[in-house]
Structure 1
Amino acid sequence: MTSVKIFSVSGIPIELDFSFLLLMLFIYILAYLGFLSVNLAVLITLVFVTVVIHELAHSYVALRFGVKIKSILLLPIGGVSRMEEIPRIPRQEFMISIAGPLTNILMALITAVPLLFGLKGAAASFAGDFLAVNLLLAIFNLIPAFPMDGGRILRAILAARLNYIRATRIASNLGKIIAVLMAVTGLFYNFFLILIGFFIYIGAEQEYQATLISSLLEGVRVADVMTENPVTLHPHMTVKEALDVMFREKHMGYPVTEAGELRGIVTFHDISDASRDLRVEDVMTGDVVTVRDDEEVTGALEKMNRLQLGRLPVMRDGKLTGIISRTDIVRTLNLMNKKTE
């Protein structure tokens, strides 16, 4: 567990990452020791409050479109709404994405009211800083590059006229160009721009890859991709016998079965350094993670990524019917991607 829930808003849990808690503690220690003004510490705290409101705006609109929100997580670099995949209906994605920046602009306008009516002194200075922070957050998030809201807004506009994957590719490539320009500018003016550029470049590539995978694999079932009737090993086989099978079949992992029942799974990594006289049951993984053959491939891939697994046995009515690996999924993606080019 790396985060803690502090409260909920409209059923949406607000969580703080432990690194965020450490950052806030550090800021207030500096303020207590006199290295930082109390006003600045409070302003930094309010910045993160505006980030929460920004993410809540996204989440509220997403809920209206039926998107489930798991939580909002506050990190030192900002906030993240943990929601299901944003709808691919351009109008819905546009509304969800623009809600955050518009909320920041609205908060800036509200803050401007007392300034226009003559607010003076420290209060006016503080309000001016808060107004500026909201405007900067809005402008930054409207940069037309993933993972900022502007990248999603641009994709939504393009997707109204183009194929969704192509719209994502254009928005992603534009984001990479902006990232490179930021990094080059940072070399001469501010090192922080290099970090932002790097963040944007990685975010743009990840968004494109995630969209490509989810789009190409949409509706594809595990049964369409898996290797049927996989080669299996018996739990009483020796490691030497298992290695002979692996070198002959040239696969890296094998289900272990006995009397037609799945007992475990063993990989080359499991047995490569094991004594050749040991049995497969001595080195196999007995607590096997499986998938059903009627599940979507995207779900199987998510499970592999989350658990850092290279392959999953495929079951049907409690019986082993196949095995699916990352290689199978990548091969399928490459074939389907060529069809779209």
Structure 2
Amino acid sequence: MNGNIRIGKLFGIPFYVHPSWFLVLGLITWSYGSGIAAQLPELAVGLPWILGLVTALLLFASVLAHELGHSLVAMRQGIPVRSITLFLFGGLASLEKESKTPSEAFQVAIAGPVVSLILFGFLSLFGWAIGTGIGAEILGVIASVNLALALFNLIPGLPLDGGNVLKALVWKLTGNPYRATVVASRSGQVLSWIAIASGLIPLVLFGSFANIWNLLIGGFLLQNATQSARSARVQEQLAQFTAEEAVMANRSAVDAELPLRAFADQQILNRDPNQKFLVTDAEGQLVGEISIDSLRSVPVEDWSNQRVRDVMSEIAVERTVPAQASLLDVVKLLDEKHLSALTVIRENGSLVGQLEKPSILAFLQRQAQPSAA
């Protein structure tokens, strides 16, 4: 998974860390360890760094809890969670699909900040109960980080949680989830540029690296916000058309009653023995598929007596799609099932043709071309 290291499972969710996580773990350990060593020089050698490591691990445990908040709410809605990954800039819960309604989308988005705020309150009370000492100080640090994590993520721009909250609200108002994503992405882009400027201006004018994290985080957020806007525009366009509208005239269908000899003669120049040809009956109903390689099961001298129907194989239901399904659903099925093509059929079982990603892209390009006057 892109170089990520699998740690295990949490609530059935695969848990990974990106190699960049170890860099941040080391920096946080060094930073807090140095602070503890300076504040409490009487501590045994090495103990400040152990305490610094504990603090760093607790910080990432807070990020993990934040992502689990999103994941558990999504799972309660029937949305599978592919993984949770910790990396340089925090954590990411990868969901297989979007929520079905604006209300459910809001619940998933707000769950992470709510978990962080709950942790802030609990840790603050626990630290107050302890009173003074290094333990209370560490708890205070972790509590403050959870508060900052909640407030930062509530900034209203994708890909932050606040952006998903904004998306849910706009979706509720407009009824269009794709338009809502574009609005939230645009907000995220504006906020990202502000963060980039706050880090870049001091660096250029004064040579100061004080806000370098603003520059790095802003760049990361800008990239993701731009990708979200682009993806939403494509999804909106795909949702406007059906599978039947996009399918090209099918040239690979063969008649079920065609003799194998005639089929072989027609495909003699076909260099791919594994290419599948759809098989239809006299009424145009889809009845199966056949490949050149299927001919090997029949002796050559019997090709004139055997028909395509005799050696064809059935097409699995999961490799077909209704003619009125949206192109967005077609693309999702191709991705989810890792298929190269889907067979499009009407309600009565008649064949429309096949759809592949390249043909869908070509269709969208044709739609984008201005019509001739």
TM-score higher than 0.5 here? yes
Q: 1:92: how far off?
A: 1.3
TM-aligned CA distance change 1:29 to 1:120, over 3 Å = closer
Shift of 1:112: 0.9
Paired residue secondary structure (1:8): strand
Taking structure 2 as the reference length, the TM-score comes to 0.64
- Partner AA of 2:179 in structure 1: R
User: What is the letter of the counterpart of residue 324 of structure 1?
Assistant: E
Q: In the TM superposition, what whole-angstrom CA distance separates every residue of 1:296-324 from its partner, at most 9, and x where no partner exists?
A: 63355357779999xx455469x994453
SS at match of 1:160: helix
- 1:298 matched to which residue of 2? 328
For the 8 Å contact 1:20–1:75, the answer to whether it is kept is yes
Question: How far apart in 1 are the matches of 2:238 and 2:331?
Answer: 10
Match of 2:360 among 303, 321, 328: 328
Q: Is contact 1:70-1:82 (8 Å) kept?
A: yes
Give the 3 Å change call, closer, same or farther, for CA 315–161 of structure 1 in structure 2.
Answer: closer
CA distance in 2, matches of 1:130, 1:185: 26
Aligned to 1:13: 13
Residue 173 of structure 1 corresponds to 186
Determine which of 229, 236, 239 is the counterpart of 2:269.
Answer: 236
Structure 1 partner of 2:51: 39
Provide the alpha-carbon RMSD of the alignment.
4.2
Alpha-carbon deviations, 1:137-177, whole Å to 9, x = none? 11221111111100001111222212423322222111111
Between stretches 187-196 and 177-186, larger displacement belongs to: 187-196
TM-score by length of 1: 0.69
Go from structure 1 to structure 2 and tell me whether the alpha carbon gap of 1:200 and 1:316 turns closer, same or farther (over 3 Å shift). closer
Contact 1:27–1:41 (8 Å) recurs in 2: no
One-letter code aligned to 2:320: R
**CA–CA separation in structure 2 for the residues paired with 1:334 and 1:101:** 44
The one-letter code of the counterpart of 1:65 is Q
Residue in structure 1 matched with residue 306 of structure 2 by the alignment: none
Letter in 2 for 1:99: A
| Structure 1: unaligned runs, 5 residues or longer | 243-254, 265-289
Q: How do residues 180-199 of structure 1 correspond to structure 2 at under 5 angstroms?
A: 180-189=193-202, 190-199=211-220
Q: Does structure 1 retain, via aligned residues, the 8 Å contact 2:64–2:86?
A: yes
Structure 1 residues 203, 135: closer, same or farther in 2, change over 3 A? Answer: same
Corresponding residue for residue 232 of structure 2: 211
Q: Which amino acid aligns with 2:84?
A: I
Taking only the aligned residue pairs, the percentage that are identical comes to 23
CA distance in 2, matches of 1:16, 1:51: 13
Higher mean Cα deviation, 19-28 or 117-126?
Answer: 19-28
Paired with 1:259 and 1:40, the residues of 2 have a C-alpha distance of 64
Provide closer, same or farther for how the CA distance between residues 195 and 235 of structure 1 changes in structure 2, counting only shifts above 3 A: farther
Match of 1:247 in 2: none
Q: Would you say how many aligned residue pairs link Structure 1 and Structure 2?
A: 294
Aligned mates of 1:17, 1:155 — CA distance in 2: 28
Shift of 1:231: 7.6
Q: Distance in 1 between matches of 2:278 and 2:50?
A: 71
Alignment CA distance shift 1:159-1:200 (3 Å): same
> How far apart are 1:206 and its partner, in Å?
1.9
- Cα contact 2:81–2:96 (8 A) shared by 1: yes
Q: Which amino acid aligns with 2:13?
A: P
CA apart distance, 1:26:
5.6
Residue type of the alignment partner of 1:173: R
Once the two structures are superposed, what CA deviation does each residue of 1:169-220 show, in whole Å capped at 9, x if it has no partner? 2221111111111111111342221221121122112222333333443485
Indicate if the aligned counterparts of 1:185 and 1:193 stay in contact, CA closer than 8 A. Answer: yes
Report the Cα distance in structure 1 between the residues aligned to 2:249 and 2:235, rounded to whole angstroms.
Answer: 23
> What CA distance in whole angstroms lies between the structure 1 residues aligned with 2:277 and 2:179?
48
- Tell me, in whole angstroms, the C-alpha distance in 1 between the residues paired with 2:76 and 2:121: 25
Q: Using the alignment, how far apart are the partners of 1:114 and 1:20 within structure 2?
A: 32
Name the SS of the counterpart of 2:174 in structure 1.
coil
Q: Which amino acid aligns with 2:218?
A: G
